[in-house]
Structure 1
Amino acid sequence: MNVKSKFCKVITLISVFIAAGPALAGDKITLMVGGYEKQIYLPAKLAESLGYFKAEGLEVELLNEGSGVDAEGELLTGAVQGVVGFYDHCVDMQSKGKYMQSVVQLAQAPGEVELVSNKYPQIKSMADVKGRNLGVTGLGSSTNFLTQFLAVKAGVPLGQFNSIPVGAGQTFIAAMQQNKIELGMTTEPTITRLLKTGEARILVDLRTMESTKQALGGTYPAASLYMTSTYIETHKEITQKLVNAFVKTLRFINTHSASEITDKMPKSFYVGDRDSYVKALDGGKGMFTADGMMPIGGPETVLAVLSGYSKNLKGKKIDLSKTFTTEFVKKVK
């Protein structure tokens, strides 16, 4: 073999190696989750545990962030490629000239509960929150959106109650125990923990479709995977792979028991009480969609809720068709 032939052979081998590289080393993606130990965002850790991201050729890093508003900021700066958080951020951000879209809808109900400390038996409804400290995960978070709406709807205007950012889990529990908040909105497994100890009771329940419709006036699409519209348009293949993984995860949730799903989750998420974790999941896993599709009428309910109190939306025309897409979910086999 002459020198020219050897050179051509080397070039050919290098070309083959380069072409094969991306398939061997999965696409690296960073997703921020608004508290991945919360059951409302369970699909993110479950997809990882089941190996569905890797099966799609993705190397996904899940970053934990207790408040959706902070995750939203990371997305806008490009620090992360996607957020597992509430769809309502996509509507709110459009009012500020920022375009985000839910690419797969994980939940059709918030999975949240407004809990009131049993130290305050006089608080019997949201109409009694005037002058009270109400716990939320963060200012500008979805828990704050919903809290503000429920208070205003009950006749207590903004400015006549205090939204106190206390996070979730142990920090929420400590805030209630120390009387920093009299009531607050939180998720499972925190809900079950406080009910089990008798420290709190439910004031408003948003864990099921039925109770959500009663409290908010319709179906409220909540947990989702959302990304900036620009990223989606320029990274369709990666977006499709992510949606594939999440839809397969939703199918797993829909076809397996709460106990079977719990076995796939990190034991630290049980907070030392697996039985309560299973019980909470068994009662709440109906909040998850079976196929990742946006529920009909859901975006309209979210817009109505946010418009009910938010100054950001006053006088603004929101194009709901630009806040979500079903393009990728429809392509999942």
Structure 2
Amino acid sequence: LKGTASGIYGLEMRTADLALMGRAMNPFEYYGTYERSWVFPVQVEVATGSFATPDKSPAYAVFVHRDNPIAKLTVQQLDAIFGAQRGGGWNGLSWDVTAARGPELNVRTWGQLGATGAWADKPIHVYAPPLEGAGAITYFQSRVMHGADLWNEDLREYADPARMIADLSNDPSGIAYASLDSAAAGVKALPLAETAAGPYVKLARETVADRSYPLSRPVYAVFNIDNEKSELAGVDPKLRELLRYVLSKQGQADVARAGGYLPLTAAAAAEQVKKLDSTSTPNELRVIRKASAIKVRMSIDEDPIVVRLAESLGYFEQEGIELQRVDVEKITGEDYLMQEPLAKGQIDAAYCWFNHAIYGARHGFPVQAVMLFNDAPGMKVLVADRAKGRVASAADFTGRNVAAGAGYGMKSVLTRYLASKAGAGAYASVMMGKAGREEAVVKGLKEGTVDVMTFQEPITSSLLATGLATTLYDLDSGESTARALGARFPAQALLMSPETIAKRPEVVQRLVNALVRAMRFVNSHSAEEIAARLPADYFAGKDRRAELELIRAALPTYTRGDYSISPEEAQLAVDVNLSAVFDESDEGRWRGSGDVSRVRAADLYTSRFVSRAMNAIAVVNAR
């Protein structure tokens, strides 16, 4: 799309692939585009605005009356003349309070600029093109006034630049900015400098072309990273080649031949080409995010790849989140007691099993799941081959020897739920320590002391590989879990307190946005591709090949397409846990105690943050 305003709208609505703009996007436009497309737009300088050609982003001249004794000005002085008191300004894409200034820095007389004699007390009459509406930032505002919209209180607006310069030619106390094609007899254009140290540069074709003149204007081509398939798809190949050509020696020669716009210097063009190969967070945003990132304290179960990917792919950074890992055991003395720290605001979030929300409700520490990561527990219920003729379903568990882990854990809870649902009677629990567990199970299979067993990877695959056991129930994917249990089972989730959700919804949304993007990456990439994007320290001290196989085995457990919890799934989790008979360990007693009447499935989750995140994705995919 041609034209700055229409181009920005086209990028935001995803009706345009490329926008040509006579100025840089302002922060409101930049973040607005990101909210719709989930990636930050890329701004590539493709030319320099014209020396003095109308409608070709001409450089701005600063005019005064020809009799005015002032011979030169700095950009800072222009700010003092045209601007006013303000509480801050934009430094790139970040609001910077160091750009604030009080009224004592306003320049309102020519004497404040060094004029003497009769000129010393003459007020400065400020002329300017029409000011834009709220939220709009012109090139002059951005370049001179740090993007602030507080102007000289006596500024006179002119829709017609010719009329403005004509009035200036009759007003010795006036000053205006406009393109050089508006020049007329009776006015002069002043040399400008960034600071009083100079150099002061006259407005000329060559000083505009090499950008040494301070009010030269870059011309931009702006586009969104193509994230139709994933956030890492990068620059659309057609756009990349088009812009490579525009930035090439031949392309810039074509810019010069077309007239109006001026070509970039070779060094400037080479620098812009680098942007065509980048899908990372823009450098200016890295500074912003680091300075203004919101700290989120999270308790994390083990070392989930979703969180690691959100970090390594820059999703937390792009959402302005700085994740701080918290060891909840140091707060409560136990790693399973995260509900009270969540409810009391000692931590902000917990990446853990959804069933902890149920236990929290029972004990008066309500927490909610704002997002679901796994809709399958990642387990298999196996039966010994020698017994599979007599154990065809969970109904046949009665009197059998069952190895399903500790009596407070979800392997044991789900195994007992399957048995209870099928009408089975009591069975004998076979307990095995963590050390040498696999070898002990294999020995039990051979000796006939284990009939049924429930395990997760990597033990499951190892047991099946022995040929001594067969899968009876597959709880490794949402689909197979639903066949076994009647619904998908909410496993790992993101838990937060209702108070935090109510008081800091924007933080919750940012956190969910980042993790949804990480989940989409998991859903659309192979184990090898995922491993390649995990940070090196993820594999520190581990067998990389074994870890890769664990990632591969876990992929089916991740929920796909929608990362919220359904009413049926929440109710299943409640039914499973409230019907459980836990062991007498400290954790078992905690899980099995408390007030059951406090537990309502509908109070244990909220889907609104995932829905907003998914709606944003739908806008992108509906191009």
Same fold per superposition (TM over 0.5): yes
User: Which of 305, 327, 331 is the equivalent residue of 2:608?
Assistant: 327
The 1-side partners of 2:442 and 2:385 are apart by 10
CA contact (8 A) 2:299 2:350 kept: yes
Q: Residue 609 of structure 2 aligns to which amino acid in structure 1?
A: F
Question: Which residue of 2 is the match for residue 93 of structure 1?
Answer: 360
Give the superposition deviation at 1:253: 1.8
Within 5 Å, which residues of 2 pair with 1:146-165? 146-156=414-424, 160-162=427-429, 164=431
Aligned partners of 2:566 and 2:467: how far apart in 1?
35
Cross-structure match for 2:341 = 77
Which residue is equivalent to 1:51? 314
How far apart, CA to CA, are the structure 2 residues paired with 1:225 and 1:241?
13
Deviation at 1:326, TM superposition (A): 1.3
Match of 2:397 among 128, 152, 161: 128
Does the 8 Å CA contact 2:442/2:463 hold for their aligned counterparts? no
Q: What CA distance in whole angstroms lies between the structure 1 residues aligned with 2:455 and 2:544?
A: 16
User: Cα deviation per residue 1:72-91 (whole Å; 9 max; x = unaligned)?
Assistant: 40342355432222223223
Stretch moving more, 244-253 or 214-223: 214-223
Deviation of 1:163 after TM superposition, in Å, equals: 7.4
Describe the shift of the 1:130–1:239 C-alpha distance in structure 2 as closer, same or farther (beyond 3 A). Answer: farther
Equivalent position amino acid for 1:29 in 2: V
Gap change, CA 1:303 and 1:205, over 3 Å in 2: same
Match of 1:16 in 2: 97
The equivalent residue for 1:35 is 302
SS of match in other structure, 2:520: helix
Residue 293 of structure 1, aligned match among 557, 560, 564: 564
Distance apart, 1:121 and its partner CA: 7.1
Q: Which residue of 2 aligns with 1:318?
A: 599
Which gives a bigger RCO, structure 1 or 2 (Cα 8 Å, sep 6+)? 1
Matching residue of 2:553: 280
Q: Is the 8 Å Cα contact of residues 398 and 425 (structure 2) preserved in structure 1?
A: no
Structure 1 unaligned spans of 5+: 1-8
Whether the aligned pair in 2 keeps the contact of 1:147 and 1:185 (CA below 8 Å) is: yes
CA distance in 2, matches of 1:299, 1:292: 13
Q: State the AA in 1 paired with 2:603.
A: K
8 Å CA contact 2:531, 2:548 repeated in 1: no
Q: How many residues end up aligned between the 2 structures?
A: 309
Match of 1:5 in 2: none
Q: Is the contact between residue 384 and residue 470 of structure 2 (CA under 8 Å) also seen in structure 1?
A: yes
The structural deviation recorded for 1:242 is: 1.5
Q: Does residue 26 in structure 1 map to residue 286 in structure 2?
A: no
Kindly provide the CA deviation profile for residues 221-255 of structure 1, in whole angstroms up to 9, marking residues without a partner as x.
22211122233333333322211111111111222
Q: Is the contact between residue 250 and residue 291 of structure 1 (CA under 8 Å) also seen in structure 2?
A: no
Partners of 1:89 and 1:171 in 2: CA distance: 29
8 Å contact from structure 1 (residues 258, 281) kept in 2: no
Aligned to 2:413: 145
Q: Structure 1 residue 131: deviation in Å?
A: 6.5
Cα distance between partner residues in 2 of 1:233 and 1:165: 44
**SS of equivalent residue, structure 1 residue 272:** helix
In the aligned structure 1, how far is the partner of 2:436 from the partner of 2:347? 25
- RMSD, matched Cα: 4.2
Match of 1:4 in 2: none
Equivalences for residues 163-242 of structure 1 within 5 A: 164=431, 172-173=437-438, 176=441, 182=450, 184-196=453-465, 201-242=470-511
What is the alpha-carbon distance in structure 2 between the residues aligned to residue 93 and residue 50 of structure 1?
Answer: 33
* 1:186-227 superposed Cα distances (whole Å, 9 cap, x missing partner): 333443344345575433211123321222122222221112
How far apart are the structure 2 equivalents of 1:165 and 1:94? 31
The amino acid across from 2:495 in the alignment is Y
Whose helix proportion is higher, 1 or 2? Answer: 1
**Relative to 1, partners in 2 of residues 1:306 and 1:281: Cα closer, same or farther, differing over 3 Å?**
closer
Task: Give yes or no for contact 1:130–1:156 (8 Å, CA) kept in 2.
Answer: no
Which structure has the larger Rg over C-alpha atoms?
2
Match for 2:456: what amino acid?
Answer: T
Q: Which moved more, 1:54-63 or 1:214-223?
A: 54-63
Percent identity at matched positions? 24
Q: Would the aligned equivalents of 2:478 and 2:559 in 1 still touch at CA under 8 Å?
A: no
Query: Which residue of 2 is the match for residue 253 of structure 1?
Result: 522
TM-score by length of structure 1 reads: 0.73
Unmatched tracts of structure 2, length 5 or more = 1-84, 90-95, 101-286, 582-591, 617-623
TM-score (norm 2): 0.42
Q: Is the 8 A contact 2:366 2:497 kept in 1?
A: yes
